[in-house]
Amino acid sequence: MKLAFGILMILHGLLHLIGFAKAFFTTKTPMLVLGISKPFGVLWLFAFVLFMVSSTLWFNNKKWFYLVFVAVCISQILIILAWKEAKFGSIVNAIILLVGISHLADFKFNKMVQKESVLLFKKIEKNYDDVISNKDVEHLPEIVQKWMKNSGVIGSPKINSVRLQQIGHLKNKPTGKWVPFTAKQYFNIGKPSFVWSAKIQYSSLLYILGRDKLNEGNAEMLIKVWGVIPVVDEVDNFKIDSGSIQRFLGEMCWFPSAAISDYISWEYVDDTSAKAIFSSKSQSVSGIFRFNAKGDIVSFETDRFYGGGSDSKKEKWIIDVIDYKVYDTYRIPYKCKVTWRLREGDFNWLNLEVLDVDYNIFEPFEKMLN
């Protein structure tokens, strides 16, 4: 699609040379546009140049949309003046304009996410000297201590920040089709916060941009079709707040040293299970971590609101660990599946793979989400 759209812009731009040629040269080119004066001929040439430069920027992943908006405006004025012969160019201008608007919205959406991510990192209290010892975890249930040791926490610095990249597939209803997505996520561990942004590609033409945010107990959820049309915009919603805190708690498997944070307490359940309780200023949530005999997390489950609407009720929300990898010095889950256990049956709605993890890096990835 990228190549096809770029070629469309080039061909559309080349057609503007006909108007320029008619105004300035004797040519055998068919006179599609009649009676073109030299000033208007210059405008036809200018539109051609703008489309050529815009297509070059497009192919090089630069900000092309501002320039192409000017090109489309000039082109459309010229087409209106020569409507009888050039009217079909309006269709191409409309296509280019719609794609440009979508990409501008993309840019603004990602710029918003980047700004929020920078702010998240600025709030992090950097502590490079706090190395975790056996004494720091001895108050935890024995199986949680095993997890701490098995995951590489003991003898390592306390994790202050996390940034990671993800890929996977999701679906929005049990009978829906799996849709691929790419995502980036940033965490502040000391002041429990995260920013998650994703691009969900329903087809070559249809995609959705999403951003979830948690900031010390307050959550936001924003989803836009093509980055333009909002379909979800949740703020100041207790149920979304609660679910985002539960999500942070479950995703603690990626930054295990958070288990000894002041805002988390633990209760023994049995020899291979422990209850984690997350307490914030606004509310407390909890979930059960289940482990194997070696101390690896095998699942996390909690009762979470199924949606943020007034009629939504709590359902069982489960993260199952599929496989592990070592990132830096930490052994963490890198493949997981997430399931809602509903009355009508299990709804496995998300399959996730972590591609890369950085610890104690205090800036977002250089490249924004495509």
Query: Residue ranges of the domains in the chain?
Result: 2-102, 129-175+238-359
The Cβ of residue 140 has, within 10 Å, a number of other Cβ atoms equal to: 19
pLDDT at 23: 67
50 vs 56: CA distance, rounded Å: 10
Torsion of CA 263, 269, 271, 273, to 10 degrees: -60
Q: What are the tokens at 142? A: 């024995």
pLDDT at 34: 44
274 vs 268: CA distance, rounded Å: 5
Ordered alpha helix ranges (H), the chain: 2-24, 38-59, 65-81, 83-86, 89-122, 134-137, 142-150, 238-250
Q: Which residues pair with 164 in a beta bridge?
A: 185, 357
Residue 368 has pLDDT above 80, yes or no: no
Tell me: the pLDDT tens digits for 85-113? 778 989 999 999 999 999 999 999 999 99
Contact 194, 91 (CB under 8 A): no
pLDDT at 37: 65
Ordered alpha helix ranges (H), 60-88: 65-81, 83-86
148 vs 296: CA distance, rounded Å: 9
**What's the one-letter identity of residue 339?**
T
280 phi and psi angles, rounded to 5 deg = -120, 180
> For 177, what's the count of Cα atoms within 13 Å in the CB-facing half-sphere?
6
Residue 24 has pLDDT above 90, yes or no: no
- Torsion sign across C-alpha atoms 224, 230, 232, 237: positive
Mean pLDDT across 115-122: 96
At residue 31 the predicted structure's pLDDT band, cuts being 50, 70 and 90, is: very low
Instruction: Kindly tell me the burial class for residue 198, based on how many C-beta atoms sit within 10 Å of its own C-beta (0-12, 13-18, 19 or more).
Output: buried
304 vs 84: CA distance, rounded Å: 61
Tell me: the pLDDT tens digits for 148-158? 999 999 999 99
Mean pLDDT across 349-354: 98
Mean pLDDT across 48-64: 93
Strands 345-359 and 179-188: unpaired
22 phi and psi angles, rounded to 5 deg = -65, -35
State whether residue 64 is helix, strand or coil. coil
Contact 145, 335 (CB under 8 A): no
Q: What are the tokens at 249? A: 């708690």
Residue 306 has pLDDT above 70, yes or no: yes
Strands 193-201 and 207-215: antiparallel
Q: Which residues pair with 165 in a beta bridge?
A: 184, 356
The Cβ of residue 16 has, within 10 Å, a number of other Cβ atoms equal to: 27
Q: What element of type H or E holds 265?
A: strand 264-270
| Chain mean pLDDT for the chain | 91
Residue 321 has pLDDT above 70, yes or no: yes
pLDDT at 21: 75
Which has the higher per-residue pLDDT, 35 or 44?
Answer: 44
Closest CA to 159 of 17, 256, 36: 256
Q: What element of type H or E holds 271?
A: none
Residue 264 has pLDDT above 90, yes or no: yes
Tell me: the pLDDT tens digits for 187-242? 999 999 999 999 999 998 899 999 999 998 899 999 999 999 999 999 999 999 99
246 vs 248: CA distance, rounded Å: 5
pLDDT at 193: 96
The Cβ of residue 344 has, within 10 Å, a number of other Cβ atoms equal to: 6
338 phi and psi angles, rounded to 5 deg = -120, 130
Instruction: Kindly tell me the burial class for residue 30, based on how many C-beta atoms sit within 10 Å of its own C-beta (0-12, 13-18, 19 or more).
Output: exposed
Tell me: the pLDDT tens digits for 246-259? 999 999 999 999 99
Tell me: the pLDDT tens digits for 156-171? 999 999 999 999 999 9
pLDDT at 32: 42
40 vs 22: CA distance, rounded Å: 10
